[in-house]
């Protein structure tokens, strides 16, 4: 009992700090609480003060409105899911072998090629917006999801991240297999990949979240309403038609469900991936 | 046939053939989607390109896009606004992230829960964020101003709708949204700091502030350096948050360079002129990065 008391006293400062951080944390997520709560309120209650967490009258009218025929909400949702899934599959297929080669295979000019690729990290995407538009137009991929999938697939950032991770797998694990005549694709598939699950998860999660939330890509490269992605789609609730805040809040809430769910279920990878995969430089 | 040829190669030769084959798909895609656009942006910026469908009308115009750009008040103003945004956003987010990471690094309770709460805005959708904040920050009946009025503030700010307040407001929302990432990176760096260092400094009689400025800050300086560079670059490519929250307004108060590029390209169909502005943005990023790279010797300590 006495021991517990002593511990309590020594930790009093930490209790205060915890309380302070919990307050900061709640202020930090208040916009989301506000969003979810408002999405169940009728329009005339959204601006009521003081703020009520539980609406006076709970209504589903906003959610029902999203699925009315004049919007393509389900279409946008499906488009985004398909686009993100394609990006993840294609990116894994292309980047994993490349990162393996850059990390563990010796060939002429390897490090020079990698450094040149890496230098493009310094070029912000907004700089090459116009030439990208020109190239995609000439390739005929504007107004399709490929104008979002393909550029995201060849993101050097993830080659860098995976290369760091692959290089940290001990060479003793693979050397014997190679001397025994095991091919590199087998080594990659059987030895490296099972050891690289956290890195692959990190790549998948970041690809999902960045792809899902991308605004500039669909805004610039997709004009057909039916082919639009969710992010730009929600904005149509904002700009088109009458300003229906309840509808916007419901759309925003539904758009955030997959990312928040993914984040909460996989945050171990998400947060520790940042620490272990060399993103901190 | 080819396979047999490969099998008969020496093991080193096999390795380099495999290596090249493994990077081939990536390299082709990279050149097409990252390399090619960068190279042709130089070419496009010296032409009068307007419509992709009328490539035969394209003329080489030399540096006239660039000379026009530097006399164009709206472009110069957009550049200034971009830099202003950078100056507001970068120190604020770095300080906030470091402060929160320092607190999370203490022996607090429920650390993982708190970290989750503080990180959450990072995964949120930018349009959703703009919708939520435009409602909460509405000058007439938004929750923030209603609250301020109830505290006796007679004339609360216009937030996103005021010419003076719009840019700082967007910068603040961007800090809130992006801070989680910086925080996690700082936290990872802080957790790598050896405990003995702080203890030996305590024995030497250093107080908490001296320990912080003379031990902790120098140790995490490589992380600070990395974050400063990436945050500055990030703050200059802020099209999405500006476009969704203010659309560049009110007036031209939040028209940053990327917004100006998009307007020139897709509003007035001057792709050549827009590309020249892209080059300007690139030059700014390069100059800032080079200055930082040169200056790092003075304050970055690599162990």
Are A47 and B143 within 8 A, CB to CB?
yes
Q: Which two tokens stand for residue B94?
A: 């770095």
Chain A positions in Cβ-Cβ contact with residue B23 (cut-off 8 Å): 97-98, 101-102, 113
Is B204's Cβ below 8 Å from some Cβ in A? Answer: no
Indicate the burial class of B213 (C-beta count within 10 angstroms; 0-12, 13-18, 19 or more).
Answer: exposed
First to last CA, chain B: 53
- State the pLDDT at residue A243: 67
Confidence of residue A281 (pLDDT cuts 50, 70, 90): very low
Average pLDDT, chain A: 84
CA B267/CA B79 separation, integer angstroms: 18
Is B262's Cβ below 8 Å from some Cβ in A? Answer: yes
Q: Is the pLDDT of residue A1 over 50?
A: no
User: Between A and B, how many CB-CB pairs are < 8 A?
Assistant: 296
* Domains (range + CATH), chain A: 2-59 (no CATH), 67-276 (1.10.3720.10)
User: Which segment of A207-216, A244-253, B66-75 scores lowest on mean pLDDT?
Assistant: A244-253
Are B273 and B44 within 8 A, CB to CB?
no
- State the pLDDT at residue A169: 82
Task: Spell out the domain ranges in chain B.
Answer: 68-299
Closest approach of B164 to chain A, Cα-based (Å): 24
Chain B positions in Cβ-Cβ contact with residue A90 (cut-off 8 Å): none
Tell me which DSSP letter residue A246 carries: H
- The alpha carbon of A40 is separated from its chain's Cα centroid by a whole number of angstroms, namely 27
Nearest Cα neighbor of A178 from B9, B11, B192 is: B11
CA B141/CA B150 separation, integer angstroms: 12
List pLDDT tens digits, range B140-199: 888 888 889 888 888 888 899 888 899 999 999 999 999 998 998 898 888 888 877 777
CA torsion A140-A141-A144-A147 (nearest 10°) is: -160
Under-50 pLDDT residues of chain B: none
Nearest to A274 among B16, B49, B188 (CB): B188
List pLDDT tens digits, range B255-282: 999 999 999 999 888 999 999 999 999 9
- State the pLDDT at residue A242: 56
**Angle made by CA atoms A250, A253, A258, in degrees to the nearest 5:** 140
User: Which segment of A97-111, A226-240, B9-23, B98-112 scores lowest on mean pLDDT?
Assistant: A226-240
> B47 pairs with which residues across the strands?
B60
Nearest Cα neighbor of A260 from A19, A27, A33, A20 is: A33
Nearest Cα neighbor of A18 from B110, B183, B95, B97 is: B110
State mean pLDDT over A92-109.
90
- Domain B68-299: CATH architecture, name and number where available: Orthogonal Bundle (1.10)
**Interface subset of B 58-87, CB within 8 angstroms of A:** none
- State the pLDDT at residue A2: 38
CA B39/CA B62 separation, integer angstroms: 16
- State the pLDDT at residue A277: 54
List pLDDT tens digits, range A130-184: 999 999 998 999 899 999 999 999 988 889 888 888 888 888 888 888 888 788 8
């Amino acid at each position: 009992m006495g021991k517990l008391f002593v511990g309590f006293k020594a930790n009093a400062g930490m209790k205060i700090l915890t309380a302070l951080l919990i307050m900061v944390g709640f202020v930090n997520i208040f916009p989301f609480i506000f969003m979810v709560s408002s999405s169940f309120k009728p329009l005339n209650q959204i601006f009521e003060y003081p703020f009520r967490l539980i609406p006076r009258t709970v209504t589903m009218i906003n959610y029902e409105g999203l699925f009315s025929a004049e919007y393509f909400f389900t279409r946008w949702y499906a488009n985004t899911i398909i686009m993100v899934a394609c990006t993840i599959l294609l990116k894994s297929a292309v980047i994993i072998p490349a990162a393996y080669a850059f990390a563990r295979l010796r060939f002429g000019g390897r490090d020079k090629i990698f450094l040149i690729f890496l230098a493009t990290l310094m070029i912000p995407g907004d700089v090459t917006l116009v030439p990208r538009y020109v190239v995609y137009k000439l390739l005929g991929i504007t107004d399709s999801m490929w104008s979002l999938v393909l550029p995201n697939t060849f993101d050097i950032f993830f080659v860098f991240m995976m290369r760091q991770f692959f290089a940290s797998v001990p060479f003793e694990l693979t050397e014997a297999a190679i001397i025994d005549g095991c091919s590199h694709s087998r080594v990659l598939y059987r030895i490296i990949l099972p050891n690289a699950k956290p890195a692959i998860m990190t790549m998948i999660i970041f690809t999902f979240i960045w792809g899902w939330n991308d605004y500039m890509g669909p805004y610039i490269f997709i004009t057909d309403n039916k082919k639009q992605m969710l992010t730009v789609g929600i904005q149509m609730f904002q700009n088109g038609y009458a300003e229906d805040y309840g509808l916007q809040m419901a759309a925003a809430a539904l758009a955030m469900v997959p990312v928040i769910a993914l984040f909460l279920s996989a945050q171990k990878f998400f947060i520790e991936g940042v620490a272990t995969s060399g993103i901190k430089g | 046939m080819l396979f047999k040829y490969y099998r008969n190669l020496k093991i080193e030769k096999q390795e380099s053939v495999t290596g090249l084959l493994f990077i081939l798909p990536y390299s082709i895609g990279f050149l097409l989607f990252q390399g090619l656009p960068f190279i042709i942006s130089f070419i496009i910026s010296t032409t009068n390109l307007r419509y992709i469908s009328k490539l035969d009308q394209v003329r080489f115009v030399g540096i006239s896009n660039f000379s026009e750009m530097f006399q164009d008040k709206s472009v110069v103003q957009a550049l200034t606004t971009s830099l202003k945004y950078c100056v507001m956003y970068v120190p604020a987010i770095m300080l906030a992230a470091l402060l929160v990471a320092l607190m999370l690094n203490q022996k607090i309770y429920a650390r993982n829960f708190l970290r989750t709460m503080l990180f959450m805005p990072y995964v949120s959708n930018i349009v959703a964020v703009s919708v939520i904040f435009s409602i909460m920050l509405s000058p007439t009946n938004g929750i923030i101003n209603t609250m301020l009025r109830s505290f006796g503030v007679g004339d609360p700010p216009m937030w996103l709708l005021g010419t003076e307040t719009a840019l700082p407001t967007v910068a603040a929302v961007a800090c809130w949204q992006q801070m989680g990432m910086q925080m996690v990176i700082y936290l990872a760096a802080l957790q790598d700091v050896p405990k003995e260092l702080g203890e030996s400094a305590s024995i030497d009689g250093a107080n908490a502030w001296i320990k912080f400025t003379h031990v902790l800050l120098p140790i995490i300086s490589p992380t600070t350096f990395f974050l400063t560079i990436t945050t500055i670059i990030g703050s200059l490519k802020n099209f999405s948050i500006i476009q969704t929250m203010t659309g560049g307004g009110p007036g031209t108060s939040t028209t940053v360079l990327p917004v100006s590029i998009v307007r020139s390209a897709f509003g007035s169909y001057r792709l050549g002129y827009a590309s020249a502005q892209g080059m300007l943005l690139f030059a700014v990023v390069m100059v800032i990065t080079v200055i930082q790279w040169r200056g790092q010797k003075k304050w970055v300590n690599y162990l």
